[in-house]
Structure formats: C-alpha cells, structure tokens
Structure 1
Amino acid sequence: MVPAAVIPTVPHPLPGPVELRIEGACARLRLTAPERRNALDAATVQALLTAVRTAERTPGCRAAVLSASGPVFCSGLDLAAATADAGQPADIADRMWEVLTALATGPLVTAAVVTGRVTGGGVGLVSACDLVFAGPDASFRLTEALLGLVPATVLPFLTARIGERAAFRAALLAEDIDSATAGALGLADTVTDRPEQHVRHLLLALRRTARPDAAAELKRCRNLLRATPEDYPGHARRLLTDSLADPAVHARVAALREEGLLP
C-alpha cells in the first residue's frame, strides 16, 4: 500500500495572540490567549483579520476553521483596554466589522469549533461563520446589556443565523444558551462530542465539489439575499463609542473586573 501524501503545515506569524496554520485546503485559526479568556483587544482583532485575509490569498485554500485555547472560546471585547483608550473603541468596531464580514461573506467556507464558553463579541465571531460545530459543554451569552452596552456590531450576524426574534431576546435578556438550546436555535449547526470529525467531513465535501468556486458562489447568492444597510456599520460604531464614554459604563466595568468577572 502506498502511504498517503503528507501535506505540510505552514505557520504564519501574526500581530496578535492568534495562531494561523495552513494545511492544504484548510486554514486553522486559533485564539491563543486563554489567560485573558481570549478577549478581543485591538491586536487580537487585527490578527484575526490578517489571518483571514492571508488564508483567502493562499492558493488552494478553501476553508478557514476557527478554534480557541482554554476553557473560554472568547469573552468578547476587552473592555479594560477599550475604556482605557478613548480612540480604541472606534478602531476595534471598524476592524471587528471587517472580520465578521470576511468570515460571513468572503470566498472561504468558514467554521467555528466551540468547546467552551462564548460571550459578547465572541458570539459574533461564531455567528459569522458558515458552520458551527459545538461541543456538549459549549455555552453562549450576549452580556452587553449587563454592562449598559448594545451588541450592535454582532446583531446582524446573529440575526442572520437564528432569526430576528431569537437574536433580540438573546441581546435583551442576556441569558445563557447551553449547547442543546444553541443547536435548537441554529446558533450551532451540530452539537457533538467529536467536532473535529465534522470538520473532516466538511473538507471532504469541499473536495468532492465539481467546481472549486461553487461554495464561494453559493455564499455570494446568500449575501445578496441578506444585505445589511450601508450606513449600519457607522451606526454600530457610534453606539459603542458613545456607550464606552459613559462614566456609568466605566464604573460597571471596573466593578465587574474587581469581582473577577471580566479579564
């Protein structure tokens, strides 16, 4: 028997705590700051954007799979950093919109492998992916309302995935969504003990398609059916910057950090 060819894994250095390794048709993106609960500061968001764009430019790459180190997949926006620098919220909002849009509308088939807790903007990262494979211990929660914020940047992507009513409820009530409920809502496509098995199934399905660009064309059709208003990103940015300039929000963030509930 002739052994299968070994496809080399190519690591790519990034400007933040994100690991990118490209193996043949699959780019693996991994959040690598578990000590900060994989919070999204400016460097992390930029690294995610760089990783996605690098994968898109790599010949033969057809899928991007996002995962994370540690028990927390992503705790959302790094509020300590955002409230410490008045210019950072607007920049992060713009870059975060670019990342979510790239995951949702770019040519690569994107998937999230979620095996831990996801809150705030992390829910946006998951929602923007084409497919979500969740472990039985995965949980999801929009926590912005508890802080006096509105998850405006996340909302279009969550709405596209689970519908307007369910997304509004999740944002309004800030309830924990366990893996079984996430599966029922459509926030997770598959809940399984073996999410990597479903990643392999995805890659096999892509290899079987007659046209390499078929998935990208399918995404373009979907994007035309659910276009976001042109002025929406600016509206979301203003909401974030105005809220983070509010002293009451600063006080709430500081109190939650002292309790150890925020990184």
Structure 2
Amino acid sequence: MNEQQQPRPLVHREIRDGVAVLRMDDPERRNVLSPRMVGDLVDAIDACERDVAVSAIVLTGTGPAFCAGAELDNLLAAAQGEEHRLREVYAGFLRVASCRLPTIAAVNGPAVGAGLNLALACDIRLASEEALFDCRFAQLGLHPGHTWMLTRAVGHKLDPRRAI
C-alpha cells in the first residue's frame, strides 16, 4: 500500500434522525475485534460523543456476524502471558460501556467471546433471529471476561423472598 492510501475504515458511522448507526464492516473476518477494528470503533464513539446532533448509538455488524470476538492470535498470546494484547481488545467494549450516550446493540448474527462482551457493553441489546450469543473464553484457557458485563446487563441474583 502506498503511503498516500489510507486503509478503508472498519467502522462506518451514519447519522439518522439523531441516532448514529455504527456498522462494523469486516464481514470476511466476521467483524473480528482486531486492533484496527477496536481503534476505528473507539474513534467512531468519540466522534459521536463530540457531535451534538447525536443522541444515541446503534452498534451492528455487516455480513453474517455481529462480531466473532477477538483475533485468536491476541487471545493465545494473552493466555501465554502477554496481557497487554487482551487489554487492546478490552479497550473496544470498555469504550462502549463508558459511552455517555445510550447504546443499543443490534445483534444481527453470532456474538462470540469478545463479541458477546461488545453486545453486553451496550445499554440495550436487540437480537435478530440469526443472533447467537456464545462465550468461548474457558475453551481458550482464559478467564471468562463477560462475567462483569453480564451481571451489569441482567443484574444480580434476585432473592425470591424479596421479590414480592
């Protein structure tokens, strides 16, 4: 690639009636959370927060998947002790979780591993009939990173004696 050419963005931002639709656009890789995807996602959310015309964000994916999770190389490196590689992935969904605007995940296909975290980081999740939520952390020998996000999304155990 010549120095003048910029790689195509992996997250597209479109404003519709005050709502920013952020579309992850790497369908060949099932919208995997690569360092570039995470960077583009963080930049898009930052831009939405700066734009006074934006009052909410919808996050979705292009193609057959919402998000297939983190790149396997990053996860395997993290399992071998390179924790910074995992922090790079976490930066994406933690940025969604800290967004000042309401966020909605429009889950249009599988949300796997870190993709599940990405959906859980949103304030609201809407799932299509093709949506699938799948945690793969234990199979890779990693701590299930979704536990905090899942508790945040669905709440703590309800004591049935206090439900009435």
TM-score, L = length of structure 2: 0.79
Q: Distance in 1 between matches of 2:86 and 2:24?
A: 17
Higher relative contact order (CA 8 A, sep 6+): 2
SS at match of 1:150: coil
Deviation at 1:160, TM superposition (A): 1.0
1:142 aligned to 135, 140, 148, which one? 135
1:156 aligned to 124, 148, 155, which one? 148
Give the direction of change, closer, same or farther, for the CA distance of 1:32–1:117 in structure 2 (3 Å limit).
same
Q: Distance in 2 between matches of 1:55 and 1:99?
A: 15
Instruction: Show structure 1 runs of 4+ deviating over 4 A.
Output: 13-16, 81-89
Deviation at 1:42, TM superposition (A): 0.7
Q: Are the counterparts in 2 of residues 65 and 113 from structure 1 also a CA contact under 8 Å?
A: yes
In the alignment, structure 2 segments of 5+ residues that lack a partner are 1-5, 158-164
Residue 97 of structure 2 corresponds to residue 104 of structure 1: yes
Give the direction of change, closer, same or farther, for the CA distance of 1:140–1:82 in structure 2 (3 Å limit).
closer
Output the amino acid matched with 2:44.
Answer: A
Deviation at 1:108, TM superposition (A): 0.6
Q: Distance in 2 between matches of 1:119 and 1:35?
A: 15
Give the direction of change, closer, same or farther, for the CA distance of 1:14–1:161 in structure 2 (3 Å limit).
farther
Give the direction of change, closer, same or farther, for the CA distance of 1:162–1:90 in structure 2 (3 Å limit).
same
The Cα offsets for residues 161-195 of structure 1, whole Å up to 9 and x where unpaired, read as 13457xxxxxxxxxxxxxxxxxxxxxxxxxxxxxx
SS at match of 1:72: coil
Identical positions, percent: 33
Deviation at 1:29, TM superposition (A): 0.7
Q: Are the counterparts in 2 of residues 29 and 67 from structure 1 also a CA contact under 8 Å?
A: yes
SS at match of 1:75: coil
- Which structure would you say has the larger Rg? 1
Number of corresponding residues: 151
Counterparts of residues 157-196 of structure 1 (less than 5 Å): 157-163=149-155
Greater helix fraction, Structure 1 or Structure 2: 1
SS at match of 1:113: strand
In the alignment, structure 1 segments of 5+ residues that lack a partner are 1-12, 166-263
1:22 aligned to 15, 25, 37, which one? 15
Q: Are the counterparts in 1 of residues 105 and 125 from structure 2 also a CA contact under 8 Å?
A: yes
Deviation at 1:151, TM superposition (A): 2.5
Output the amino acid matched with 1:140.
Answer: F
Give the direction of change, closer, same or farther, for the CA distance of 1:32–1:88 in structure 2 (3 Å limit).
farther
Hey, what does 1:240 align to over in structure 2?
none
Deviation at 1:51, TM superposition (A): 0.7
Output the amino acid matched with 1:159.
Answer: T
Hey, what does 1:90 align to over in structure 2?
84
The Cα offsets for residues 36-87 of structure 1, whole Å up to 9 and x where unpaired, read as 1111111111111111111000112111110101112111110135547999
TM-score, L = length of structure 1: 0.51
Hey, what does 1:172 align to over in structure 2?
none
